[in-house]
Copies of this chain bind each other. A is one copy, B any other.
Amino acid sequence: MSADYTGRLLTREVMATADIFLRESRRLFKPHGLTAAQYNVLNALAAAPAGLSQRELGDVLVVDRSNVTGLIDRLETTGWVRRTADPSDRRVHRLALTPAGRRLRNRVHARYDAVVQQVVAGLDAPRMHTAVQVLKSLQAGARAWHLPKA
């Protein structure tokens, strides 16, 4: 098994695994009326006690500002997120979970976490640790390819 064959295989499997995770996680979110992107928003907001601006949220999710607009529009109509004016900068919208949004997030997060534990159950810590290191290395490699453009 040549090294480059394994390299191709590895990158392919990373993509395939992420794709399966995404698909299966959608099945979990759907009954709660949530999409995967919306769950990520609730989660990011739950982890930011002081709230986030839309730009900050976009940075956290690695998503364009323009995408955040629609995402929050929809989450506002469902009543899970609130936009409030920032007192010190009239351009920014401060985002926060509503109580209902926080409850929903906690409920879904617990289920999601339980599934992750189940999915990961067959793996021993050293192997997982190696896998994480390999993934980090792949991320660094991908970014290193990116940077030379500068």
Taking a contact as CB atoms under 8 Å apart, the answer to whether A142 and B21 are in contact is: yes
Q: How far is the CA of A132 from the CA of B12 in the complex (A)?
A: 9
CA distance A1 to B17 in the complex (A): 24
The residues in A between 1 and 39 inclusive whose CB is less than 8 angstroms from any CB of B are 1, 3-4, 6-11, 13-22, 24, 27
Q: Are A145 and B118 in contact (CB under 8 A)?
A: yes
* CB of A89 closer than 8 Å to a CB of B: no
Instruction: Classify chain A's interface size.
Output: 35 or more
Cβ–Cβ < 8 Å partners of A119 in chain B: 7, 11, 138, 141-142, 144-145
Chain copies in the assembly?
A: 2
Contacts of A143 in B (CB 8 A): 20, 24
Q: Hey, which chain B residues are within 8 Å of A15, CB to CB?
A: 18, 21-22
A6-B129, A115-B145 known; A134 and B123 CB under 8 Å? Answer: yes
Q: Which of B14, B113, B141 contacts A122 (CB 8 A)?
A: B141
Distance A102 CA – B122 CA, assembled complex (angstroms): 42
**A131 touching B141 in the complex, CB below 8 Å, given contacts A14-B17, A18-B15, A62-B19:** no
A80 to B131, CA, bound (A): 38
Whether A17 touches B145, Cβ cut-off 8 Å, given contacts A6-B128, A6-B129, is no
